[in-house]
């Protein structure tokens, strides 16, 4: 079915009401949400497996990543 909540009769196909169009859009929203959540989780786990982990050590976090990774200060505040 066509997506378009404000389509009148004749625009949404054979006897499609505004409520049916809203239902189609809700299914589209839900399926997009589920798809992005699953793909994001898979990519996050893949990156975590291919690297040594996404999180840095507590020591590097306390020291600051500018110093621990690049050996220089990012901001002199």
Q: Where are the domains of the chain?
A: 18-70
pLDDT of the chain along its 77 residues, tens only?
A: 555 555 555 555 566 677 888 888 899 999 999 999 999 999 999 998 998 878 888 898 888 888 888 888 888 77
Cα–Cα–Cα angle for 69, 65, 48, rounded to 5 degrees: 80
Tally the C-alpha atoms within 13 A of residue 65's C-alpha that lie toward its C-beta: 3
pTM exceeds 0.75, yes or no? no
56, 55, 54: which is closest to 68 by C-alpha? 56
Sign of the torsion angle spanned by Cα atoms 31, 32, 35, 36: negative
**How far, in Å, CA of 48 to CA of 13, rounded?**
47
């Amino acid at each position: 079915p066509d997506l378009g909540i404000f389509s009148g009769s004749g625009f949404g196909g054979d006897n499609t009401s505004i409520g049916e169009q809203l239902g189609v859009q809700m299914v589209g929203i839900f399926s997009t949400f589920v798809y992005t959540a699953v793909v994001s989780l898979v990519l996050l786990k893949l990156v975590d497996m291919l690297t040594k982990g996404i999180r840095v050590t507590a020591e590097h976090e306390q020291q600051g990543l500018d110093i621990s990774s690049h050996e220089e200060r990012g901001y002199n505040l």
